[in-house]
């Protein structure tokens, strides 16, 4: 049994962030950045995979989950908040593992503060090219993966207003498409686990950060990645409904990169191939 310490982190502008430390090792800290934007930390299973070999830190991003629901919301503030977590726990440097949007956040942090990042683990991200290059294929894949759940998801998605229960149902349906394989009951159960306890999506945060990401120059991002010396491992689930070729230009731009493809996994590869995922990261 590993020890767990939960604390409140204060950001530079006074927003209160929920954060927790688990694991027993005092060296080689591992900080996890959850996906979204606008969601909360669902990476407890990832933390458990590495608890015996590292001190693992998780946190809810501003406005999300157990953190104070207050903006402003931006990539710049997200990077600053991550640094506030680092300072709060007294970490001189850290391994960063980011999932989905959290992978992009971890990349931005490494670009801004490379001296504070020993390694970067980029899990299930969508690369650095324009969203228009990959999103249409993702949208088609999502609708196909939803199968019999598509009419209900469409009905919930297009409602002018939703109850909390309807919002949760909509998200569980959508998240079920992120798991690989034909067993949709299993996928739905995994999505239900992600949504339990339900902490509510911050759609304002989601819209603000995604709008900013769409405004970023892919050319400038490639140039910045081209001078990053931090070792990077890219971990993909081969059956992720987000096209994996979206990450190809990021892989080409990085100087010190390794890429691992987990064949039987989707967007949350640790849930479907925990051994393969742990090996890919630990290597």
Same domain, 24 and 62: yes
Same domain, 167 and 272: no
Lowest mean pLDDT among 25-29, 94-98, 140-144, 242-246: 25-29
Give residue 219's pLDDT band: very low, low, confident or very high (50, 70, 90). Answer: very high
Same domain, 22 and 100: yes
Query: Across the beta sheet with 94-99, what order do the strands follow?
Result: 4-10, 16-22, 56-59, 30-33, 94-99, 117-123, 232-237, 257-262
The burial of 231, by beta-carbon neighbours within 10 Å (0-12 exposed, 13-18 middle, 19 or more buried), is given as middle
Q: Is the pLDDT of residue 18 over 80?
A: yes
Q: Is the pLDDT of residue 222 over 50?
A: yes
Same domain, 54 and 118: yes
Same domain, 114 and 220: yes
Q: Is the pLDDT of residue 132 over 80?
A: yes
Same domain, 187 and 116: no
What's the whole-number average pLDDT of the chain?
Answer: 95
Q: Is the pLDDT of residue 1 over 50?
A: no
Same domain, 129 and 253: yes
Q: Is the pLDDT of residue 2 over 70?
A: no
Total domain count, the chain: 2
Same domain, 90 and 121: yes
Report d(CA 187, CA 206) in Å as an integer.
24
Q: Is the pLDDT of residue 162 over 70?
A: yes
Which of 194, 209, 229 is the last residue before a domain boundary? 194
Report yes or no: 221 and 133 within 8 Å, Cβ to Cβ: no
Same domain, 38 and 162: no
Same domain, 126 and 140: no
**pTM for the full predicted model:** 0.96
DSSP strands (E only) in the chain: 4-10, 16-22, 30-33, 56-59, 94-99, 117-123, 232-237, 257-262
Give residue 5's pLDDT band: very low, low, confident or very high (50, 70, 90). Answer: confident
In tens, the pLDDT along 225-278 reads 999 999 999 999 999 999 999 999 999 999 999 999 999 999 999 999 999 999
Which of 177, 194, 211 is the last residue before a domain boundary? 194
For residue 256, the domain's CATH number is: 3.40.50.1820
Strands 94-99 and 30-33: parallel
Same domain, 171 and 110: no
In tens, the pLDDT along 169-202 reads 999 999 999 999 888 899 999 999 999 999 999 9
In tens, the pLDDT along 58-77 reads 999 999 999 999 999 999 99
Per the structure, the complete domain to which residue 140 belongs is given by 135-194
Same domain, 97 and 222: yes
């Amino acid at each position: 049994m590993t020890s767990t310490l939960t604390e409140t982190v204060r950001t530079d502008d006074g927003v209160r962030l929920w954060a927790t430390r688990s694991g027993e090792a005092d060296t080689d800290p591992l900080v996890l950045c959850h996906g979204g934007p606008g969601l909360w930390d669902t990476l407890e299973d990832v933390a458990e995979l590495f608890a015996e070999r590292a001190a693992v830190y998780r946190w809810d991003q501003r406005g999300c989950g157990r953190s104070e629901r207050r903006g402003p919301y931006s990539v710049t503030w997200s990077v600053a908040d991550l640094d506030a977590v680092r300072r709060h726990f007294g970490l001189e440097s850290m391994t960063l593992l980011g999932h989905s949007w959290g992978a992009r956040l971890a990349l931005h942090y490494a670009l801004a503060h490379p001296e504070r990042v020993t390694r970067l683990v980029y899990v299930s991200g969508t690369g650095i090219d324009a969203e228009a290059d990959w999103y249409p294929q993702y949208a088609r894949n999502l609708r196909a993966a939803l199968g019999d759940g598509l009419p209900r998801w469409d009905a919930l998605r297009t409602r002018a207003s939703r109850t909390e229960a309807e919002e949760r149902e909509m998200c569980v349906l959508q998240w079920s498409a992120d798991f690989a394989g034909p067993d949709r009951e299993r996928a739905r159960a995994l999505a239900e686990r992600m949504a339990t306890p339900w902490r509510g999506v911050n759609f304002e945060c989601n819209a603000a950060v995604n709008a900013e990401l769409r405004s970023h120059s892919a050319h400038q991002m490639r140039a910045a990645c081209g001078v990053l010396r931090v070792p990077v491992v890219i971990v993909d689930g081969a059956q992720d409904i987000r096209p994996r070729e979206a990450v190809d230009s990021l892989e080409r731009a990085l100087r010190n990169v390794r890429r691992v493809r987990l064949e039987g996994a989707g967007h949350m590869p640790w849930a479907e191939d925990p051994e393969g995922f742990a090996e890919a990261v630990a290597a």
